[in-house]
Copies of this chain bind each other. A is one copy, B any other.
Amino acid sequence: MDSTRQTNSNASKTNKLYERGERTRRGILETSVDIASAEGLEGLTIGRLAKDLGMSKSGLFAHFGSKEDLQIATINIAREIFVEEIVLPIIDMEGGLKKLLAMLENWISYVERNVFRGGCFFFAASAEMDDRPGKVRDFVAELTNAWVIALEDEIKQAISLGEIDKSTDVDLLVFQLHGFVQEANWFYRLHERPEAFDYARKSIQQVLKIYSTKKGMEVLES
């Protein structure tokens, strides 16, 4: 027997097993991200997840050693989905005010379309974890901070293009824009008021008009 072929065949078998494992893992995590968005990361126990998936607890333990591992893996998938829904569709777009508007619009739309059963995953995770020190909290803070910085960078880009006035307080503006989308999420999830999305869109336009130059106004009105 050709030992090279045997090795190749083994490698291919391992690969297939690995791929199947990855597919199972992703499937498990898509369920867990949905549970966590609605019922919280703390509600995400291996027992609860096993019941929802009709899997054995020991089968799940093979994928995730602890509740914390499961929580971190779940947040990672939520991040992937966030990037797929909000960032990737506009990855090739030129920077500046138009891209800033697209980032915000994609974010609003992802809440409006209920991409996660429980609304914005990171809004729910933030409120839940903010007072629970540890790895999970730090990871949620790191990711939400990365999104704030991405919005800030786009504002800075718009300033350098002369679309937003250079005297703008970037931290204040990002606080306002970010806050409008979070408020829409809050208002819609708790009070079931879909007009919240319209309010967020109008508020974003209104606030950006305060800071826009003539060139920026053309972008806002286009």
Q: Dominant SS at the A interface?
A: helix
Q: A131 contacts B189, CB within 8 Å?
A: yes
- The quantity of this chain's copies bound in the complex is 2
Contact status of A131 and B39, CB under 8 A, knowing A141-B190, A172-B202, A183-B175: yes
A73 at interface, CB cutoff 8 A: no
CB distance B199 to A210 under 8 Å? no
Within 8 Å CB of A141, what residues of B?
A: 190-191
- Listed in ascending order, the chain A residues whose CB lies under 8 Å from chain B are 37-40, 42-43, 117-119, 123-124, 126-132, 137, 140-141, 144-145, 169, 171-172, 175-176, 178-180, 182-183, 186-187, 189-191, 195-196, 199-200, 202-203, 206-207, 210
Extra A-B contacts (20), CB below 8 Å, given A118-B130, A172-B202, A175-B180: A40-B42, A42-B43, A118-B131, A123-B127, A124-B128, A126-B189, A127-B186, A127-B189, A128-B128, A129-B190, A137-B190, A144-B190, A171-B195, A172-B203, A175-B183, A175-B199, A179-B182, A179-B203, A182-B186, A206-B210
